[in-house]
Structure 1
Amino acid sequence: MSNRTARYNGNAMRIIDNGDNSFSFAAIELPSTKISSTSFTRPADITAYTANDVVGPAVTGNLSFSDVSMISGAPIKIESAMMEIDVAAVPSGMSTFRLHIYNAAPTAIADNAAFNLIAADRSKYLGYITFTTPVDFGDTLISDVSALNKIIKLADNSTSLYGILETIGAYTPTSAAVKKITLVTSLA
């Protein structure tokens, strides 16, 4: 029998064949920090958002964050989040945003429609992250949230999270603006 790696209770262990019908075990330290990003281009229009509208791709406001953990169904900690908006100035009225988080794909809500925590999605809902008003760094706007320490549990057999971005303030967007959201996660 050769050396093998197995998982026990979410931890990786190396099973070592000692060659004399005995075995020993050695813990394997897995990197626990993951970085997952998603980006989207909002519709090519300047239709104003009202407060609490979904901001997302044209067809659906759903965002997907893949591989936020090495272990399916594990409890994880969202350590930090960053939102990048690729425009040169903060649009008038733009304020904070909420990223609503789900452990399975929620019901699609189109860009510029009112956010709704739909009854069928309640069991998938894990809470939200509030992004502050983005800061203008010339050609790019950034909202960075650190030290979140938000502990959530992934769905069984999944290493992904899903999100819906909601604007809290009413504003007129830049046509076809690209937004990127990055989550830094670790095993809880």
Structure 2
Amino acid sequence: MVEAVEEAVGWFETYLCRPHEGVGRPGAVCPFMVPALRADGVRVQAFPGGAGLDGLLSMVDAMVEVLRGGGWPTFNRALHAVVAALPDLPHADTVSSATLTATLPPGATATNLSAGCTTTPGTVTCAYGPIANGTAVNRTFRVPLSLLSLGPVQVTATRTASSPTDPNTADDTGSATCTVLFILLATCP
């Protein structure tokens, strides 16, 4: 709990109390935070557990009581703030799970699947656990081609599920096309 409170206060100092070019004006991101911190007018309280509706309502009630409770070193109410730290929420930049489905060429069945992947004729489905922002997790499979497979062979993968959901579905599909030049020779990007 103490760590969540310290992390919140550190964020106030390193982000809210400093200028940021994205704000569109000079000065701190939150002009009230610097004087509020100086006046000891900011209360940070950690609320453990899930954030279901009942938990959120209880948290808001508790925050109102802290705000009304008094004991503020300054009488300037504009410098009073109560901030909830929710240490048990997943980080916004982490995918907790995802599923990708690859569509294979007609009649193709995949082999040599990575752990977490399953196949049916024409598709491969791979499940992923937590993935932190900026990291990559690879799953692989092979698509054996027949002796008569010449020309382009395309595989298209699509994110079919994830938690949290992806607000930008425009980039949820990708394709790879290999060109079979000869029975033993294929080129892929």
For normalisation by structure 2, the TM-score amounts to 0.27
- The one of the two structures with greater contact order (alpha-carbon pairs below 8 A, sep at least 6) is 1
Greater strand fraction, Structure 1 or Structure 2:
1
Greater helix fraction, Structure 1 or Structure 2:
2
Greater gyration radius = 2
